[in-house]
Structure 1
Amino acid sequence: MTAFHESALDGVARNPALPTPLLMRLLAFEGGGAGPLRHAIGRAGLPEPAVAVILAHPNPRARIEFAMSARSEPAQRARLAEDPSAKVRAALAYGPEWYDPRTTVAPLPDAVCARLLDDRDASVRAALLDSPHLAPSFVASTAVHPDPAARRIGVRAWDVLAPRERSALLADPDPEVRRAAALRECRRDTHLTSELLRDPKSEAEALRRGLLDIADAERRIAGRTHLADLAGNPSLPAHLVERLAADPDEAVRLAVSLRPELPETRRMAIDVTVGALAGEDVEWVRDGLADPDVLRRAATSAHPLLRRAAARSPHLPPGLLGLLARVEDPVVDARMAVHHPDTPEEVLMRVYARLGGTFSAWMAETHPRFPREGLAARYADHPDGNYRRLAVRDPAATPALIERLSHDPAVWTRQAAAGDPRLPLHRLREALHVPELASSAGANQALPADEMEAVLDRAGVPA
């Protein structure tokens, strides 16, 4: 298959109007490149006959693609748990590698995860424990698993574990499990914190989160050991907080400036400089992205890093969302555009103007608030092709305009027009044979079924 034929086939595989018989024909195809196969397998709402074809596909790559599809139902993917290929089972165990951050990937059923955790192949077990898509109930269940690697994962569920389970993990025969458990419990235990401070592997984290003995804190300050970690510790006494607020190391002063209990006037009096694109993680904000009080304190602060941390939350209420939109901070704008479904249009357009390229195209296609009306009048003749392609999004754009834009000097604009159902049929058929437009034209919902069938024929997909 030539690259041109593969490009057209790639588009047809993504076409929402692809008839089921052609979809089944494409799914059964063993040849071709990864693109067409991946796009056909990754479609949402695959009918059961199509799922059956994929599950029995002789090409393991097809089964791997389905195992990692974010659009397939977990119960459908779960049927690969007994697949003969360890690579397929490992792909299933890990799950989708990319997904829209505004949506959640549904986890596999706990029983299927338990089966994969006991898989005979170590790569499958490791992939499962590394997965970002595990259900909280399954994570908690691993706290009593015979494998210490699983019990280390179970420690993540510390706050919901029964007291006897916590005690068992604190006394676990595996030193890594004991350390992980102690780092959770040390938030309320000065003795455990002191023990962890003597271990180089856990010292920094214990200083960040442990319940500190004042003598331990003063020794670290005197020895200038991990001061930036110490500066954020919630149990650090106020007089030591004040001492570190004037520390000569700016990283230490910055950590102090991010403490949650500081009054705003005191926070902003600390001498720190925050870079224009800096976005350090702020743990108490990250852990409270659904907490109205945390969001209010962070979003209304004058501290750039707190505002940037709050901008990650999809739960910002309208008032705080509007407040952050008026800041016009590029990091705040980008984070709201990625994470919040109600990001104001003016913010989305600022991000589009600033970043351009693939990210802006993704945002324009997927964000529910990205503007549509009036774009043709504003941008059809814009000197920048990145803006001219926005004209295609306008519901009022005429077929004549879409056809004109399908000849635009900018390839992304031509591709956007080639994929629009308003493109006149004669030009759509023509675009299907233009190398850089074939994929977009193939994905066009207005493409007649006989043209889709012809693409499969030319690509050598057996009938």
Structure 2
Amino acid sequence: MVAFHASALDGVARNPALSTPLLLRLLAFDGGGDGPPRHALQRAGLPEPAVAVILAHPDPGARIDFAMSPRAEPAQRARLVDDPSPKVRAALAYGPEWRTPRTTVAPLPDDVCARLLDDPDPSVRAALLDSPHLVPSFVASLATHRDPAARRSAARAWEKLPPGVRSALLADPDPEVRRVATLRECRRDARLTAELLHDPTSAAEVLRRGLFHRADAERCVAERTHLAALAENPSLPTDLVERLAVDPDESVRLAVSLRPELDETRRMSIDFTVEAFARGDVGWVRDGLADPEVLRRAATSAHPLLRRTVAQSPHLPPDLIRLLARTEDPVVEDLLGMYHPDTPEEVLMRVYARLGGTFSAWMAETHPRFPREGLAARYADHPDGNYRRLAVRDPAATPTLIERLSHDPAVWTCQAAVGDPRLPLHRLREALHVPELASSAGANPAFPEDEMAAVLDRAGVPA
């Protein structure tokens, strides 16, 4: 019975119809030492009384969950900047770890980031500098900070730094700051490239990005160290590129085939192999995902990795979406489904069928183009439970069908039906006593408030 109550309580915590009084009860609950349910702490649109309870919660774990919530407003999370626990402040500084491909996390205000950067605890400062949610302007502002670690981070915004600031970092008293700055500047300075080649910790990046004198480039080709990285280098002389295009190392030939200056005929004349499920990460395409010319070059290429990289762009025009949808490349289709809001329905359905499980459920629930109408007639009696689950999405599905699907042999289908507000109330109450369905039942928006309160009562949540 305890496991049942815990599962139902988790569902109630994420129920969109949960009232503020019940939410406040949940947030004050210590969970037998485990703290409040995470779904209650990370709900979207928390009302001010709920935020106040979380900020003052005696369990640091509750405050950490809120600090890392991808749904909380930055101004709400920012109120933890003076939290007494450095673990909470570090969680705030780093920010949410989980986010979906089509969503972004709003950054903390600059003044809050500045305070976290000056936090007395080094773990807080380190978490902020590692955060993927900092805006480029703030990163650039770190170039004159007294902490060498902050100045090292500023190099990530190298192209946004004024020339004088870049020069200062290149001459910084801290050797690691100088090394990181030199790694950035070597892209336009062959002398710095030659110096860095003697540093084994920097060699691969220097070979990939540094500006080369011809003699140094020839020597590196002859030495064959990190040759696939060198094959990507934009300053490599044309004759050396041609030599590497027929190199016996397959990874080197593949790297050459991805160079941006190649026309399509030359690119596809290279003997390269792409792994069946290799996800594209071609630098010049990734950096140009908002550039119409780059999008068109990559989408119209026959090179799978160019197409897979460009499929991650939310800026694709309709004709390129249609073109990519016809490539018959499962990886391209998967990436379109994850990243692009205008992916055709037929592609979404193929991705749904191929991937199944949690990802398919997430895509079906969140993708704006995923179909709804007509699914009950098409899939209610499908032999695959993953498809029968889709019938629940149909606005025309009747309560009788929803109840039938709530008894489906496939647990995914049962859970989808039990969470649907059209489920008859008597079946919803029954599902609360089935361990694998109790959470879905608790999250059903049609669950009466007095019965939600009863779940809290039975779980020992104080009134």
TM bucket by the smaller chain?
Answer: over 0.9
Residues 42-441 of structure 1: matches in 2 within 5 Å?
Answer: 42-441=42-441
Alignment deviations for residues 13-37 of structure 1 (CA, whole Å, 9 cap, x no partner): 1011011111111111122475962
Q: Cα distance, 1:437 vs. partner?
A: 1.0
Change (3 A) 1:123 1:220: same
| CA RMSD, Structure 1 to Structure 2 (Å) | 1.3
Q: The residue matched to 1:261 in structure 2 has which SS? A: coil
Alignment deviations for residues 230-286 of structure 1 (CA, whole Å, 9 cap, x no partner): 111111111111111111111111111000110101110001111211225211111
Residues 10-21 of structure 1: matches in 2 within 5 Å?
Answer: 10-21=10-21
1:243 maps to a residue whose letter is R
> Are the aligned partners of 2:29 and 2:36 in contact in 1 as well (CA < 8 Å)?
no
Q: Distance in 2 between matches of 1:95 and 1:279?
A: 26
Q: Distance in 1 between matches of 2:426 and 2:139?
A: 56
Q: Cα distance, 1:367 vs. partner?
A: 1.2
> Are the aligned partners of 2:280 and 2:306 in contact in 1 as well (CA < 8 Å)?
no
Q: The residue matched to 1:262 in structure 2 has which SS? A: coil
> Are the aligned partners of 2:94 and 2:128 in contact in 1 as well (CA < 8 Å)?
yes
Q: Distance in 2 between matches of 1:161 and 1:208?
A: 22
1:66 maps to a residue whose letter is F
Q: Distance in 2 between matches of 1:35 and 1:430?
A: 28
Q: Distance in 2 between matches of 1:40 and 1:278?
A: 38
Q: Cα distance, 1:377 vs. partner?
A: 0.8
Q: Distance in 2 between matches of 1:432 and 1:198?
A: 66
Q: The residue matched to 2:62 in structure 1 has which SS? A: helix
Q: Cα distance, 1:188 vs. partner?
A: 1.2
Q: Distance in 1 between matches of 2:313 and 2:145?
A: 34
Q: The residue matched to 2:155 in structure 1 has which SS? A: helix
Q: Cα distance, 1:2 vs. partner?
A: 1.5
Please say which of residues 387-396 and 336-345 is displaced more in the overlay: 336-345
Q: The residue matched to 2:436 in structure 1 has which SS? A: coil
Change (3 A) 1:45 1:30: same
Alignment deviations for residues 88-127 of structure 1 (CA, whole Å, 9 cap, x no partner): 1111011101012211100011111111111111111111
2:18 maps to a residue whose letter is L
Q: Distance in 2 between matches of 1:224 and 1:24?
A: 64
Q: Percent identity?
A: 82
Q: Distance in 2 between matches of 1:318 and 1:15?
A: 37
Q: Distance in 1 between matches of 2:134 and 2:151?
A: 14
Q: Cα distance, 1:221 vs. partner?
A: 1.4
Q: Distance in 1 between matches of 2:187 and 2:195?
A: 13
Gaps of 5+ in 1: none
Q: Distance in 1 between matches of 2:153 and 2:279?
A: 27
Q: The residue matched to 1:179 in structure 2 has which SS? A: helix
2:189 maps to a residue whose letter is D
Change (3 A) 1:409 1:33: farther
Using the size of structure 1 for normalisation, the TM-score is 0.98
> Are the aligned partners of 1:6 and 1:32 in contact in 2 as well (CA < 8 Å)?
no
Q: Cα distance, 1:185 vs. partner?
A: 1.1
Q: The residue matched to 1:436 in structure 2 has which SS? A: helix
1:223 maps to a residue whose letter is E
1:407 maps to a residue whose letter is H
1:284 maps to a residue whose letter is W
Q: Distance in 2 between matches of 1:332 and 1:24?
A: 45
Aligned residues between the structures: 463
Q: Distance in 1 between matches of 2:381 and 2:298?
A: 42
> Are the aligned partners of 1:9 and 1:36 in contact in 2 as well (CA < 8 Å)?
no
> Are the aligned partners of 1:311 and 1:336 in contact in 2 as well (CA < 8 Å)?
yes
> Are the aligned partners of 1:6 and 1:33 in contact in 2 as well (CA < 8 Å)?
no
> Are the aligned partners of 1:11 and 1:36 in contact in 2 as well (CA < 8 Å)?
no
Alignment deviations for residues 1-54 of structure 1 (CA, whole Å, 9 cap, x no partner): 822101001011101101111111111112247596211111111111111010
Q: Distance in 2 between matches of 1:267 and 1:149?
A: 41
